[in-house]
């Protein structure tokens, strides 16, 4: 789907801290652009409405920038979202990404012929280096040990961001091992702001 020439126009990524059902429907009900299907990824909305998790941080923000308020269950909004799931157009693939949500809360309400639940454990802090090495191998490259340690400190709470950085570094290295200098050159920590870059 995303490998097609129009793939980027058929991908929407939403974050549950500041969206509602109307936002999801606006993206999920849209027709694909010159393609058969579109992909909508929603982070943290189910968990927030169920009172089971904090709102998801936007890509590139560290855990320190996430909201710290105690999550509160919103039954009406949760029911409305669950009622909508069977109505999603067949041309839309909706992916709900949750950090801390018991699948039993929603499993009975998902359309069995269309919905699938997959659980993926986050690597423990001590295993993050090995995860980085595996992702580098997946992208067709390798990293020096010092580069692995640098990346492990970059965004340990955002595996999507981290994987994107690994892919970028492997592509840049073009067959050689990624070095700490490569990480220093190409990877920006989440705490770096546009103001810091301008001051530099």
Question: Sign (positive/negative) of CA torsion 3, 5, 8, 10?
Answer: negative
* The pLDDT value given to residue 18: 81
Looking at residue 117, what is its pLDDT?
A: 85
pLDDT value at position 104?
81
Closest CA to 133 of 152, 161, 114: 152
* Per-block mean pLDDT, blocks of 10 residues, the chain (200 long): 66 87 95 93 89 56 46 84 92 89 81 83 89 95 96 85 92 95 82 49
Domains of the chain and CATH, by start = 7-107 (3.40.50.300), 125-199 (1.10.8.60)
What pLDDT was estimated at residue 95? 93
The pair of three-digit structure tokens given for residue 191, joined into one six-digit string:
């705490």
Q: What are the two backbone dihedrals, phi and then psi, of residue 157, each rounded to the nearest 5 degrees?
A: -95, -5
Please give the pLDDT value at position 121.
Answer: 80
């Amino acid at each position: 789907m995303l490998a097609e020439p129009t793939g980027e126009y058929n991908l929407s990524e939403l974050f549950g801290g500041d969206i509602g059902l109307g936002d999801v429907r606006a993206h999920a009900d849209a027709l694909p652009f010159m393609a058969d299907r579109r992909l909508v990824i929603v982070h943290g909305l189910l968990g927030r409405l169920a009172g089971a998790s904090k709102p998801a941080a936007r890509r590139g923000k560290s855990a320190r920038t996430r909201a710290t308020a105690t999550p509160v269950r919103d039954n009406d909004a949760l029911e409305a979202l669950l009622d909508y799931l069977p109505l999603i157009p067949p041309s839309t693939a909706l992916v709900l990404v949750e950090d801390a949500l018991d699948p039993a809360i929603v499993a009975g309400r998902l359309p069995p012929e269309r919905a699938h639940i997959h659980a993926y454990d986050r690597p423990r802090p001590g295993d993050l280096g090995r995860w980085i090495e595996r992702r580098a191998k997946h992208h067709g490259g390798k990293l020096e040990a010092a580069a692995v340690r640098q990346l492990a400190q970059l965004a340990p709470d955002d595996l999507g961001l981290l994987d994107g950085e690994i892919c970028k570094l492997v592509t840049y290295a073009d067959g050689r091992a990624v070095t700490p200098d490569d990480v220093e050159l190409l990877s920006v920590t989440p705490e770096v702001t546009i103001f810091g870059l301008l001051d530099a």
